[in-house]
Amino acid sequence: MSYRKMMYIALLFILLTTSGCSLFRFVDNSSPEDIQKFETSKDDLWNQKKALEQEKAAHLKQLADQQAQIILMHRGMSDQQTKIAHADKQIAESNKIIEDLTIQVKLLEEEKEKTVTVKEPEPVLSGFGRVRRRRLRPARSGVRRKSRERNRQRRRRQ
């Protein structure tokens, strides 16, 4: 055989063995984590286990704190709900009282209108002996009074 053929065969043999070894490593379908477990020592595993347990304890403590906060929030919400229910009852009672009072006011106004009698104007003698009747003035509302008060306030401001 020639020297070149021998070199090709040796090179081919080296390539096949390296690729075969790299394939053999993952033939058992082990993950990189599993491979790392096999490669690490017992002391490293023990240290990792302690670190994970400490992390777990910290997470459990955080969980307990969050559950305590949730319980406090639920208590606060229930207190607020009772206050709201009490306020709703008071509002309902106030509304009922207001309705009763408005009915009473309407009844009193109706009674007042019924009891008000219209007076006949008295005859007044005019200068030449004629009888003149007085005119009834309509009841004045507080419109003029209010406008006078507003004008006075405006003058005071100026």
Residues 40-62 have pLDDT tens digits of 777 888 888 999 999 999 999 99
Q: List the domain boundaries for the chain.
A: 67-99
Task: Give the predicted TM-score (pTM) of the model.
Answer: 0.36
More reliable by pLDDT, 20 or 10: 10
Q: What tens digit of pLDDT does each residue of 64-92 get?
A: 999 999 999 999 899 899 999 999 999 99
On whether the CB atoms of residues 135 and 121 are closer than 8 A, the answer is yes
What is the C-alpha radius of gyration for the chain, rounded to an integer number of angstroms? 52
Q: What tens digit of pLDDT does each residue of 92-132 get?
A: 999 999 999 999 999 998 888 887 655 555 655 555 555 55
Q: How far apart are CA 85 and CA 93, in angstroms?
A: 12
Q: How far apart are CA 132 and CA 121, in angstroms?
A: 10
